[in-house]
Structure 1
Amino acid sequence: MNLPGRKLLWTDTLDFRSDKANFYYQFRRQLLKNGQVVREKNWQETIPRDHQ
């Protein structure tokens, strides 16, 4: 998003993997202002497989 005097960019990164026992979820969201990170939030969760 280009605004007068600044440029804002939101980026998201998702990593989803698994093994025999679990799923692994990682998500990162960043807000960049003029190329510099001003906010970042990370989520991470391990989800057991139930083998239904």
Structure 2
Amino acid sequence: MQHQLNGGEKPPSERVIDQHREMFGGEYRLSTDGPHPVPELQETRSR
């Protein structure tokens, strides 16, 4: 169903998040409770 809705591309919400990361060089979410539990999603640069 998602493939049919998005035509094989990322959903719009994921594209916006990717654009934000490209523009500002980091995660768009505020993390105050420590690193993200998924290693691939952890912020690698210091603020």
The alignment's TM-score, normalised by the length of structure 1, stands at 0.21
Q: Larger Cα Rg: Structure 1 or Structure 2?
A: 1
Select the structure that is richer in helix. 2
Q: Which protein has greater RCO, CA pairs closer than 8 Å, 6+ apart?
A: 1
TM-score under structure 2 normalisation?
Answer: 0.22
Between structures 1 and 2, the one with greater strand share:
1
